[in-house]
Amino acid sequence: MTSGDVRLAEMEALRRRIDELDDALVRLLNERSRCALAVGKLKHALGLEIYQPDRERDVLGHVRGVNTGPLDADAIARLFERIIDEARRLERLAAAGTDRRATIETPATRTTDEGGPDLESRLESD
């Protein structure tokens, strides 16, 4: 085996690991979304607004603080801003009863998560 073959094999192993990590991220993002939907249900029951800027500031501060890199704090904040935007979008859809993917259930209950993000409608609703 040549050094080029070894490097190619190493690259393929790293790509498989990235795929595994992507799978875990998708599962965790969906679990987080189920929690956010449950929070949204409680907000609705309490008559609270979906948008909670103080809480979002707290979340962003928290993830910046626990970050150890190699992504810098700003990169982490940008990623979480998008995650929060999508959670807020799901809360709005669920509150309006317009999206079967965004049913409000407990975090332990599976919801369907088919389809991809709808950036255009998210931008229109924000």
Structure-token pair, residue 95: 């509150």
Residue by residue, DSSP assigns 50-102 as S--HHHHHHHHHHHHHH--SSS-HHHHHHHHHHHHHHHHHHHHHHHHT--GGG
pLDDT tens digit string along 44-100?
A: 999 999 999 999 999 999 999 999 999 999 999 999 999 999 999 999 999 888 655
pLDDT tens digit string along 27-45?
A: 999 999 999 999 999 999 9
Which residue has 């790293």 as its token pair? 14
User: Could you give all domains of the chain from N- to C-terminal order, each with its CATH number?
Assistant: 3-106 (1.20.59.10)
User: What contacts 114, CB < 8 A, 6 or more positions away?
Assistant: 101
The structure's pTM equals 0.73
Distance separating alpha carbons of residues 117 and 76, to the nearest angstrom: 20
Handedness of CA 31, 89, 114, 75 (dihedral sign): negative
User: What contacts 86, CB < 8 A, 6 or more positions away?
Assistant: 33, 117, 122
pLDDT interval class at 25 (50, 70, 90)? very high
